[in-house]
Amino acid sequence: MTTVLVTGGAGFIGSHLADRLLAEHYRVISVDDLSTGRIANLSEARGYGKEFTFFNMDVRSEGIMPLFERHRPEVVFHLAAQAGVRPSLEDPATDASVNIMGLLNVLECSAKTGVGKVIYAASGGTIYGEPKRLPAKESSAQASHPLSPYGISKKVAVDYLGFYQRYRGLDFTALALGNVYGPRQDPRGEAGVVGIFAAKMLAGEAPMIFGDGNQTRDYVFIDDAVHAFVQAVSRGSGRLVNIGTGLETSVNHLYRMIADIIGFTGEPSYGPLPAGELRRIALDISAAPSAIAWKPWTHLEDGLGETVAFLKGI
Ligand SMILES: NC(=O)c1ccc[n+]([C@@H]2O[C@H](COP(=O)([O-])OP(=O)(O)OC[C@H]3O[C@@H](n4cnc5c(N)ncnc54)[C@H](O)[C@@H]3O)[C@@H](O)[C@H]2O)c1
């Protein structure tokens, strides 16, 4: 049985990934400091008994090395992060501490203990800055200017992965994720707007839209995103790969779609657009089929329907 480590394993994406890996008969070690992750997200994983182990630990801590030595993971999925744009604007140092120093601790431990590969959760929604051309290609990361400290830390991480591959023999794939949405999502995350809108509408309240609502994002469903991580275990060596749909969806359109699913008729209010937010993004996903044998299969209507059903407790 292959042992893998999932950092950020109690988070939105990390907990779904752990569930999927366990279903595929991997032994899963999960590390999370529960800063935004939740023990409740682990309930399915815990049903696997000894095949699943959880450590409440900070990825920057010295305790990470003994954990690598003891469990000897063959693959590391690095998802632990300060995962919000807004907190990074308020506190760039904390963002860098978790997202850069935390990554380096994990990479150092991986290189020293013979981990075969690190699969990294990069951010397609922020590392390209405001792209000159849409949809954004992976190659445009080289000359991009991220608008937030979060985007900067997620972009520099890919350079560190390249360094560890060249000089320390540690393979990697970096997945530039679009705005991932679905059951268990954290309203503070990049695609938080889906959970926030749906929760408000279900409570009979009209959500606020920041900006004019014409800003666009590339929304990708959680199951599709998780599938990309699994595909990358044996594919996509040394690559940055976009994981999205290639489609731009405006916040106004998203509002209408969620309102239609819920049967909500209220009109949104509009507030100022916070700094660090992009105008438009969509990811060019033409590389993913050959790089990691992946393409998205969930239509936005269906994914939003599942998310709303989850929030209703169905
Ligand atoms: N959700 C998205 O739309 C999206 C898009 C692009 C990239 N990502 C990336 O995917 C990863 C997972 O994001 P998510 O949406 O599941 O967010 P999340 O906040 O639910 O998950 C991040 C997890 O990391 C944990 N964590 C934070 N700091 C830690 C530390 N110092 N030590 C150990 N654990 C720590 C948190 O408790 C949380 O469980 C992140 O790296 C994020 O940047 C997410």
pLDDT digits (tens, 9 = 90+) for 236-248: 999 999 999 999 9
Q: Which of 16, 29, 33, 82 to mutate to test the pocket of ligand 1 (most atoms within 8 A of CB)?
A: 33
152 burial type by CB count under 10 A (0-12 exposed, 13-18 middle, 19+ buried): buried
pTM for this model (two decimals): 0.98
Q: Give the closest residue (by CA) to ligand 1 atom 20.
A: 11
Query: What is the number of other CB atoms lying within 10 angstroms of the CB of residue 108?
Result: 16
- Taking the C-alpha atoms of residue 104 and residue 112, their distance in angstroms, rounded to an integer, is 12
Predicted local distance difference test score (pLDDT) of residue 156:
98
User: Is CATH 3.40.50.720 the right assignment for the domain spanning 3-181+219-246+284-296?
Assistant: yes
Measured from CB, residues less than 6 Å from any atom of ligand 1 are 8, 10-14, 31-37, 58-60, 79-83, 98, 102, 121, 123, 125, 177, 179-180, 186, 189-191
Give the angle 201-225-124 at the CA atoms, nearest 5°. 90
- Taking the C-alpha atoms of residue 264 and residue 8, their distance in angstroms, rounded to an integer, is 34
Predicted local distance difference test score (pLDDT) of residue 273:
86
pLDDT at 314 over 70: no
Q: What is the mean pLDDT of the chain?
A: 96
Predicted local distance difference test score (pLDDT) of residue 189:
61
Q: Give the closest residue (by CA) to ligand 1 atom 12.
A: 79
